[in-house]
Amino acid sequence: MTNFGYTLMTEQSGPKELVKYAVGAENVGFDFEVSSDHYSPWLSSMGHSPYAWTTLGAVAQATERVELMTYVTCPIIRYHPAVVAQKAATLQILADGRFTLGLGSGENLNEHVVGEGWPSIDKRQDMFVEALEIIRALHAGGLVTYEGKHFRVDSARIWDLPEG
């Protein structure tokens, strides 16, 4: 059977409207909802770009059945992978297991804002592999220390992990 998804267009609506649209999409039978994780809209004329993680937390509380997903969170520049791991675990708890973490290596439009420059595709892919290792290790539970070429984690653990 085909599943049907609804895109919460964070570049075109504010956070309160997105929650309202998410509830409406669930009510008419959509199976999943995805939210872009952008710092800026694609075009300034779009006029919005609320923080996807806060919006998805509100959507998780306002909906009951629909699956939720980020597309795409970049865990290598604007966010440290340990922070991505923590917020994904928290959202999974708030969504009662309905959340999927969608990850990618990002694009300059959203990542340049932290002033770290825009690495080559090869470097971004290397960073992405390390980020996945960190996120998976933290989601496995326990204390994590990691020393990579691009990222370090010092004695971190996620205190609130989803069950299962």
Considering the entire predicted model, what is its pTM? Answer: 0.95
CA distance to 106, 107, 125, 129, per residue, from 139 (Å): 22, 25, 21, 16
Is 112 catalytic? The answer is no
What pLDDT score does 164 carry?
73
- What is the Cα–Cα distance from 6 to 60, expressed in whole angstroms? 14
| Domain carrying residue 94 | 5-156
Instruction: Count the domains in the chain.
Output: 1
Question: Of 17, 26, 33, 38, which is the active-site residue?
Answer: 38
**What's the average pLDDT block by block, 10 residues per block, for the chain (164 residues)?**
97 97 99 96 92 98 99 96 99 98 92 91 98 99 98 99 89
Q: Assign residue 102 the CATH number of its domain.
A: 3.20.20.30
What pLDDT score does 149 carry?
99
CA distance to 10, 55, 85, per residue, from 66 (Å): 18, 15, 22
What pLDDT score does 110 carry?
85
Does the residue 34 lie in any domain? Answer: yes
Is 107 catalytic? The answer is yes
Does the residue 162 lie in any domain? Answer: no
What pLDDT score does 109 carry?
86
What pLDDT score does 146 carry?
99
